[in-house]
């Protein structure tokens, strides 16, 4: 570590990083095929040696959390991980966690298994700091993610967990931690309760938060009270995906993952800057998830971070990609809209808008197209009926008309 960066990986050239990622990708795909039953099936027939470019990676199927959960349910109790883990129980798998669902996740034995130390360092955490860790230590891995990262840097950790606010304030007052890890909402509760009780928690000067969005207004509220709070984007299955730096310009992607932004309901990468679903390939051999769909929406930011970190940047959390909607008793999902779009090369982008009131729904497929041939709207309407079994109006609009918010299905109905 130098003063400003966690390691030299953060400042290598973009070309060098891409070359190293692509050099390691075939081996990771091959490892997943050979050492996990799930990817042996999902990637059956794939020549791993040929998966050495982003274009080749984009041809592989996306595995989403629902797929993971379904495989876990089907294979219990024989394999609670659904065939995705390359670990075996014992010293190499010190803990197993249960996230809501439940979804079971293994922990590997490597130092800073989830790679959170990088995010903590960017947030100003340093060796010798005492970290007040207010993530739950019960079943879920959030607290252990943060603890492993803190230990990697050389911090001490107070395992506060959640709840028992008065006792937590007492511990902060007496132990004088300088850093906080947890959700932003609980940090606000601690600060407000301390103000009400006249409890001195001024030792807290910095924080790394996750599990929830951190609105700019709340970040500014913390700053006004002497707390520099940064956000992390991590999941139990993937570990750290991206993290905030002192530039406050989006989130920098972690060095241990490969991130794509794809059109919701598909595995097709979108143009740079367009909002889509975050899909992650992790280089973790213990849990080698290939093209794992997070269900979160974001978009790539241009350029490198002003702090000197050169990896891809994303805008942060912009909503959820699963926009499945029930219309006239039928479920319509983004994949069906994508299927309609694939049938017509004239379509640039599409958005299905559901309006009216419940039980009196109206569907309108808004389609961006340039120089549409006569009768295109009628043919698209027939495709909508074929794919969804429902009728829809088709509205042809000029390129660039639809908002760049990642929405493929917009539910604009009145629920009053």
pTM here is: 0.86
Range name among 87-91, 97-101, 258-262 with the lowest pLDDT average: 97-101
What is the sign of the dihedral through the CA atoms of 39, 45, 49 and 53?
negative
- Which helix (DSSP H) or strand (DSSP E) does residue 301 occupy? strand 300-301
| Number of Cβ within a 10 Å radius of residue 4 | 14
Give the pLDDT confidence of 249-288 residue by residue, as tens digits. Answer: 999 999 999 999 999 888 999 999 999 999 999 999 999 9
The torsion angles phi and psi of 242, rounded to 5 degrees, stand at -160, 165
Q: What's the rounded Cα separation, in Å, for the pair 407 and 410?
A: 6
When pLDDT is averaged across residues 179-192 and rounded to a whole number, the result is: 95
Task: Check pLDDT > 70 for residue 217.
Answer: yes
Task: Check pLDDT > 90 for residue 356.
Answer: no
Residue 361's pLDDT is 80
- Residues 6 or more apart in contact with residue 212 via CB below 8 angstroms: 183, 184, 185
State the residue for tokens 């958005």. Answer: 351
- Which helix (DSSP H) or strand (DSSP E) does residue 63 occupy? strand 63-64
| 113: confidence class by pLDDT, cuts 50, 70, 90 | very high
Give the pLDDT confidence of 299-343 residue by residue, as tens digits. Answer: 999 999 999 999 999 999 888 887 878 787 677 888 889 899 999
* Torsion angle of the four alpha carbons 123, 126, 131, 137, in this order, in degrees rounded to the nearest 10: 80
Task: Check pLDDT > 90 for residue 118.
Answer: yes
E strands present in 150-291: 156-159, 179-182, 206-209, 228-235, 239-243, 251-253, 257-262, 276-282
| Cis upstream peptide for 6 (omega within 30°) | no
Residue 309's pLDDT is 97
DSSP, res 46: -
Residue 2's pLDDT is 65
Using alpha carbons only, give the angle 27, 33, 38 rounded to the nearest 5 degrees: 140
Residue 414's pLDDT is 66
| 24: confidence class by pLDDT, cuts 50, 70, 90 | very high
E strands present in 155-287: 156-159, 179-182, 206-209, 228-235, 239-243, 251-253, 257-262, 276-282
Q: What's the rounded Cα separation, in Å, for the pair 251 and 242?
A: 6
């Amino acid at each position: 570590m130098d003063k400003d960066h966690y390691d030299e990986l953060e400042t290598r050239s973009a070309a060098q990083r891409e070359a190293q990622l692509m050099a390691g990708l075939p081996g990771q795909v091959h490892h997943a095929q050979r050492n996990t039953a799930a990817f042996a099936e999902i990637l059956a027939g794939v020549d791993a040696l040929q998966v050495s470019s982003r274009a080749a990676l984009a041809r592989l199927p996306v595995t989403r959390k629902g797929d993971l959960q379904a495989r876990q349910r089907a294979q219990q109790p024989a394999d609670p991980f659904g065939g995705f883990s390359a670990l075996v129980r014992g010293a190499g798998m010190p803990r197993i966690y249960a996230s809501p669902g439940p979804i079971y996740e293994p922990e590997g034995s490597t130092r800073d298994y989830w790679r959170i130390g990088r995010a903590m360092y960017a947030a100003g955490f340093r060796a010798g700091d005492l970290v007040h860790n207010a993530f739950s230590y019960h079943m879920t891995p959030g607290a252990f993610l943060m603890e492993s990262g803190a230990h990697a840097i050389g911090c001490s950790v107070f395992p506060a967990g959640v709840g028992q606010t008065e006792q937590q304030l007492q511990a902060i007052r007496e132990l004088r931690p300088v850093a906080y890890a947890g959700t932003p909402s609980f940090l606000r509760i601690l600060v407000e309760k301390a103000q009400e009780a006249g409890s001195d928690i001024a030792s807290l000067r910095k924080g790394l938060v996750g599990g929830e969005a951190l609105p700019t207004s709340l970040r500014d509220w913390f700053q006004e009270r002497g707390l520099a709070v940064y956000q992390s984007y991590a999941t139990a299955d993937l570990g750290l995906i991206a993290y905030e730096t002192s530039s406050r310009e989006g989130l920098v992607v972690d060095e241990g993952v490969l991130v794509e932004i794809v059109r919701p309901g598909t595995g097709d990468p979108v143009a740079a800057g367009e909002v889509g679903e975050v899909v992650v390939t992790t280089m973790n051999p213990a849990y080698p998830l290939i093209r794992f769909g997070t269900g979160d929406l974001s978009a790539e930011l241009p350029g490198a971070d002003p702090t000197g970190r050169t990896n891809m940047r994303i805008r942060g959390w912009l909503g959820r990609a699963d926009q499945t909607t029930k219309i006239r008793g039928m479920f319509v999902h983004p994949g069906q809209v994508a299927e309609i779009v694939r049938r017509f090369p004239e379509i640039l982008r599409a958005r299905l808008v559901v309006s009216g009131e419940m039980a009196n729904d109206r569907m309108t497929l808004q389609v961006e197209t340039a120089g549409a041939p006569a009768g295109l709207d009628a043919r698209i309407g027939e495709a909508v009926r074929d794919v969804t079994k429902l009728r829809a109006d088709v509205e042809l609009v000029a390129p660039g008309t639809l908002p760049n918010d990642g929405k493929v299905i917009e539910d604009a109905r009145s629920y009053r």
